[in-house]
Structure 1
Amino acid sequence: MKNLYGHIGALIVTFVWGATFVSSKILLNNGMTPDEIFFLRFLLAYICLALLSHNRLWANNWKDELTLCGLGIMGGSLYFLLENIALTMSTAAEVCILVCTCPLITALLIAIFYKEEQLSRKQMVGSFVAFAGMILVVLNGQLVLKLNPLGDILAFAASMAWAIYSLLMRRIMNRYEPDFITRKIFFYGVMTILPYMWYSGSISENILLSGTPLSGETIAVIAGNILFLGLIASFGAFLLWNWAMRRLGAVKCTNYVYLQPMVTIIIGFLVLDEKITVMGLCGMLILTAGMIRALRK
């Protein structure tokens, strides 16, 4: 039963995170930059969680505190920064495919460092099948990819960052409560994005401080999407993800990342009138079969 709740939690988070691509796209179209979006969503999530969980301020030792800082960087500032910069250089399809290699990388890292949490041969086959289906979903009828070496390297680096996040979480997730770990991730994510924002000029040119007049409708759209990203996709989803990872293990939980492109393409069809091709539908079926195989004992 404990594992069942973990699977349900990971599935819910996957659907929420799949929707964040649409929400972030709306904010970008309204003049916000990727680092501003990340900063505001993590800051809002940190404030909310700090109000609910504030009894413990620091980890038991400096090594654990450094691990928490690493989680904030690898699963927060660095991951989102690499992914969003890659999106400006490569196509969304390329970036999505490369970023979604993180379950395979995670399984490899876990196998190297933690012998007791290795996938069986059948589960590994299921992971590769799910990855193949995910590629078909992402392509969705697009047969030609315009390769950009630097953008692709950054996207793969983002995948590595999330895999290291999973590895670090595996090390510390049983030592502290999920709310404390998640709060520290938000804190260090916010702190480590500030130097980049200062360097890029986002702090001095922030859309909310620039003095540019915004219509009431635009303000409502920006506020609504920031609230969704901060309260649901960050505060709620990260807390639930870390809780699910504690029950399923890093490898199984990270496999749910494969489902995010499928969720995004469905939401794009429903909200943005984007088409779903036969290739996309076949990819969804293959992806689902591979996921079922990979998640079975």
Structure 2
Amino acid sequence: MNASRASGRAAGHLVALATIVVWGVTFISTKVLLADFTPVEILLLRFLLGWVALWVVCPHALAVRNLKDEVLFALAGLSGVTLYFLLENMALTLTFASNVGVIVAVAPFFTALLAWRFLGDARPGGAFMLGFVVAIAGIACISRSGSEFALNPAGDGLALLAALSWAIYSILVRMLAARGYGSLRATRRIFFYGLVCMLPILPLAGLSIQAEALLRPVNAANLLFLGLCASALCFVSWTFSVRRLGAVRAALYIYLVPVVTVLTSIAVLHERVTWLSGAGMVLALTGLLISEWGAPGRARTAQKRDGPSPARGQR
């Protein structure tokens, strides 16, 4: 049993790391697409492709047991798909990208607080907080490297709300996993609600997607990457990681997103690494390790609230 649990946790860590690597690359892919598409158009196309792909892979309908679970799916789609990406994109138009990169990385802190407050996890301790501070300092170094960093209340506030939105999504995913819903079909239903929640903003976005732009090889490749890999595959793999590590430990890997983005920029865009960004990468990784060591464990009360752990039936 212990060996099985250790194996499950190891798989969770590896899958979380692989997911973050892909998500770190998405910034480069999105940057390419912004030449021909608006942020809302990219968001719509990305998750529409992901939703269709998940239906092709698994065409079976998901049987939701009750209205409460249906509401959880709807809230997950709203928080993790529509609100997170919409708030982040809006923040990028109002403040520096460096600000957004740092502020969104506080998501693990919000996740730990929400897990403590609503799921009965242990209260975040000193080691977790130390790791959080070290990681944020590293991310700040990466963001400051070659860019400006100044406070902008409107944009920075939206970025903070985006981080909170992702934390809420992680908690909801853990609650749904504890109710026994499989990762793939659960993700497909979350995407559906995410797309539904986008509908009210589409008339305001002024969509003008051109077939010529869609068929350009570079755009098609990047859209397929975002839709099939970064959305369909990675949201499923993120749910897998949350199942095995818990929402807090899985969220800690968000600290590595800026690190992956910098390394990808060096490899793909041939950008130069500065001593500040190099130091930042080391600090972000160190903060991750410290926070992982001090991450709050799951309390017994959480088992009572969430129900039996799905890990028993999955491993």
Name the SS of the counterpart of 1:59 in structure 2.
coil
Change (3 A) 1:118 1:6: farther
TM-score, structure 1 normalization:
0.92
Name the SS of the counterpart of 1:32 in structure 2.
coil
**Equivalent residue, structure 1, for 2:121:** 116
Name the SS of the counterpart of 1:115 in structure 2.
coil
**Ranges of 4+ aligned residues in structure 1 off by more than 6 Å:** none
- Taking the TM superposition and a 5 Å limit, the aligned residue runs for 1:6-45 are 6-29=12-35, 31-45=36-50
- Taking the TM superposition and a 5 Å limit, the aligned residue runs for 1:205-216 are 205-208=208-211
In the aligned structure 2, how far is the partner of 1:295 from the partner of 1:191?
36
**Equivalent residue, structure 2, for 1:171:** 175
In the aligned structure 2, how far is the partner of 1:163 from the partner of 1:189?
16
In the aligned structure 2, how far is the partner of 1:71 from the partner of 1:156?
18
Q: Is the 8 A contact 1:126 1:291 kept in 2?
A: yes
Bigger mean CA offset, 170-179 vs 123-132: 123-132
Matched, 1:67 2:69: no
Bigger mean CA offset, 218-227 vs 8-17: 218-227
**Equivalent residue, structure 2, for 1:285:** 282
In the aligned structure 2, how far is the partner of 1:274 from the partner of 1:149?
30
In the aligned structure 2, how far is the partner of 1:73 from the partner of 1:109?
17
Name the SS of the counterpart of 1:296 in structure 2.
helix
In the aligned structure 2, how far is the partner of 1:93 from the partner of 1:161?
19
Per the TM alignment, residue 58 of structure 1 is displaced from its structure 2 partner at its CA by 4.0
**Equivalent residue, structure 2, for 1:89:** 94
**Equivalent residue, structure 1, for 2:303:** none
- Taking the TM superposition and a 5 Å limit, the aligned residue runs for 1:143-154 are 144-154=148-158
* Structure 2: 5+ residue stretches without partners: 1-6, 295-315
RMSD of aligned residue pairs (Cα, Å): 1.7
- Taking the TM superposition and a 5 Å limit, the aligned residue runs for 1:156-235 are 156-175=160-179, 176-202=181-207, 205-208=208-211, 219-235=216-232
Matched, 1:102 2:99: no
Change (3 A) 1:279 1:34: same
Q: Is the 8 A contact 2:101 2:139 kept in 1?
A: no
TM-score, structure 2 normalization:
0.87
Per the TM alignment, residue 140 of structure 1 is displaced from its structure 2 partner at its CA by 1.9
In the aligned structure 2, how far is the partner of 1:122 from the partner of 1:81?
33
In the aligned structure 1, how far is the partner of 2:116 from the partner of 2:175?
13
Name the SS of the counterpart of 2:65 in structure 1.
coil
Per the TM alignment, residue 118 of structure 1 is displaced from its structure 2 partner at its CA by 4.3
In the aligned structure 2, how far is the partner of 1:141 from the partner of 1:198?
37
Amino acid at match of 2:44: F
In the aligned structure 2, how far is the partner of 1:63 from the partner of 1:54?
24
Amino acid at match of 1:160: L
Amino acid at match of 1:285: V
Per the TM alignment, residue 117 of structure 1 is displaced from its structure 2 partner at its CA by 4.8
Q: Is the 8 A contact 2:62 2:186 kept in 1?
A: no
Matched, 1:138 2:135: no
Q: Is the 8 A contact 1:170 1:249 kept in 2?
A: yes
Task: Count residues in correspondence.
Answer: 287
Per the TM alignment, residue 145 of structure 1 is displaced from its structure 2 partner at its CA by 1.7
Per the TM alignment, residue 129 of structure 1 is displaced from its structure 2 partner at its CA by 1.6
Q: 1:3 aligns with which of 1, 6, 9?
A: 9
Q: Is the 8 A contact 1:58 1:65 kept in 2?
A: no
In the aligned structure 2, how far is the partner of 1:78 from the partner of 1:116?
25
Percent identity for Structure 1 against Structure 2: 40
Amino acid at match of 1:252: R
Matched, 1:253 2:261: no
Per the TM alignment, residue 79 of structure 1 is displaced from its structure 2 partner at its CA by 0.8
**Equivalent residue, structure 2, for 1:244:** 241
Q: Is the 8 A contact 1:90 1:151 kept in 2?
A: yes
* Structure 1: 5+ residue stretches without partners: none
In the aligned structure 2, how far is the partner of 1:227 from the partner of 1:188?
21
Amino acid at match of 1:168: L
Per the TM alignment, residue 105 of structure 1 is displaced from its structure 2 partner at its CA by 1.1
Per the TM alignment, residue 141 of structure 1 is displaced from its structure 2 partner at its CA by 4.9
